[in-house]
Amino acid sequence: MKKRSFLPAVLALASLLASSSAVAQSGLGISPAVEKANAKAAPGLRADPLFWWVGMVNPKLQVLIHAPGIAGSTAALAAYPGVTLDGQQKLESPNYLVLNLTISPSAKPGQLKFTFGGAKKQTFSYELRARGTEAGRVQGLTTADMIYFVMPDRFSNGDPKNDVIKGTQVSRVARDSMYARHGGDLRGIANHFDYIKQLGATAIWSAPLVENDMPKASYHGYAVTDCYRTDPRYGSNEEYAQYVKSAHGQGLKIVQDIVLNHWGSRHYLFLDQPAKDWFHQFPTFFRSNFRDAAFNDPHGSEYDFNQFNRGWFDTTMPDVNQDNPLVATYIIQNFLWWVEYTGLDAYRIDTYSYSAPKFLMQFGEAMAAQYPSLSMFGETWVQGTAQQAYFAKNILPPVDGFKSNLPGVTDFQMQYAINEALTKDAGWTEGINKIYYTAQADWLYQDPMRNVLFLDNHDVSRFYSVIGEDLAKYKMGIAWLLTYRGIPQLYYGTEVLMKNFSNPDGKVREDFPGGWAGDKENFFTTRNGARAEAFDFVSKLANYRKTHPVVHAGKLMHFIPQDGVYTYFRYDETGTVMVMMNSGKDEKTVDMARFAERLRGFSSGVDVMTGAVVSDLKSVKVPGRTAWVVELRK
């Protein structure tokens, strides 16, 4: 594989800087007017990270100071036992200074006193805190968990007072617009902890909660504008920390959604850039080709790799240059900060494969070293199981120096497979056989149990629409989700048959009915007909899964599908659960003789969902469009 370069001819930074008009038109640079406006907006001194802790595994700390003209200063640290100022670094912008500190294990919590000498003398206090000591504070995820994924702006409005925050780019709430803010917040989620628990979920993953102060489509959170601030329309940093603590008190874990690859174009570090090489910049807008295959293509070109890895995700999402050591450290420290500050349990990493290969390994190593119990899974919206496994911990040798240390991934390959199983007739590799062949490739992973299974999410069409609003197929999908290997994730509203397709974008991100005062329907409390049947099905099976370790932690053995019927078993020393999925529309009689190795010692079974006794394990009839979950009995 070719060694990757920055493609100087493509980047052409000299041309970019030489043409101020081109910069202004493209929106990729900083005009004097923007610099002046930013200086007015932030006249004081800011330090990132906002504060730090004693006793961290890595004693080194990089503090980025931002203040007008601060680069003309010389920093001095008043004597503080166990802390040394190793040096300072000036950047291209006169408004930044990097302080490099060492915090020894002997250091105590307190205030570091800095003096910045220069044309204008400044003093600054930087806080060192004691680390959180609660037992099991960062819990991580296991296969016993079920994740409930919400878009916080669209789930529930618990505090109307924070709907509009003075000074932000969006000055109104407009629930009739799919791209406007709707008012959901942290309190809204917390108000429905009981609902989430009733459903059988044990963890909550929300789309990014950090500030996303963009003028358009800021509701989704994936264009961060301040890495150290909870979006005030969701709540304050303190409220977020309390939200995590409250969730833990209710037996719920918290998954924070993070973006390593890009920020929003109104991020203060983009408006007033520390240096040009903090972002990938081009003479004209250069969008990513979104072709993850370029990451590890042995025949690939440098051009394709650089477009994938360094091209922008969108016009308002500048690509962050993680090959810059200062940038890499800034990002890593930021996500260490959020874990220590809140005690959250897991990170879901957006657009994982788009980041710099070396940086991804550095990030994973730093997180695991500091928080061994922290779970992480990355979005790997890729094609092919081998390509997906490449981005997780796997058995493959390093490729071009990259060896993933990411524990798990969002299992798009399994999502593709279950959709195909429920929308296509069975063929040699098609239809229900797609699940079999996808699972057969689990040998590629170090531990496929750490992958996150899902039927739908905020980027793809809702599951109920994909399967033609067929309740029988819906139950099959839910049964697969909750009895297969891995950690299941349920997208908000799937349990009450919310529907729509991803095109037009936004329709899969509609408000949860009942999350706002005055809603005509309230699915939190009142569900009728098919919605009630769907919710009850999810809740019953999810809670069964939670209380029966054999289903979530037992081994998986499956048998090659025959005549459209796929049979698999979850088993351990305590028992065995059998699942039979009949993807055809007609009832099938199944000769059970070939399952003898798993049926040995069992004489009957009980249908988990209905309680009906299955007395004959020699030959069974499986209704069409059914996933039959049976607890075997001796």
CB 279 within 8 A of CB 321: yes
Going from the C-alpha of 119 to that of each of 35, 73, 168, the distances in angstroms are: 21, 7, 33
Q: Which residue from 361, 347, 359, 356 is spatially nearest to 408, judged by alpha carbons?
A: 347
Give start and end residues of each alpha helix (H) in 250-298. 268-271
For residue 606, give the H/E element and its range.
strand 604-607
Q: Considering the candidates 48, 211, 340, 350, report the single residue annotated as catalytic.
A: 350
Q: Is position 379 annotated as part of the catalytic site?
A: yes
Three-state DSSP at 615 gives coil
Give start and end residues of each alpha helix (H) in 371-432. 385-390, 412-423
Half-sphere exposure of 200 (CA within 13 A, CB side): 23
Q: Considering the candidates 231, 257, 272, 379, report the single residue annotated as catalytic.
A: 379
Three-state DSSP at 7 gives coil
Residue 594 has a CB neighbour count (10 Å cut-off) of 13
- Residue 359 CA to residue 320 CA, distance in Å, equals 11
Q: Is position 194 annotated as part of the catalytic site?
A: no
Supply φ then ψ for residue 76, to 5 degrees. Answer: -135, 140
- Residue 512 CA to residue 524 CA, distance in Å, equals 9
CB 441 within 8 A of CB 386: yes
Q: Which residue from 121, 213, 124 is spatially nearest to 165, judged by alpha carbons?
A: 213
User: Quick one: 553 exposed, middle or buried, by C-beta within 10 A (0-12, 13-18, 19+)?
Assistant: middle
Tally of residues, the chain: 634
Q: Any idea which residue has 């040998």 for tokens?
A: 443
Q: Which residue from 207, 213, 259, 204 is spatially nearest to 233, judged by alpha carbons?
A: 213
> Could you give the residue numbers annotated as active site?
350, 379
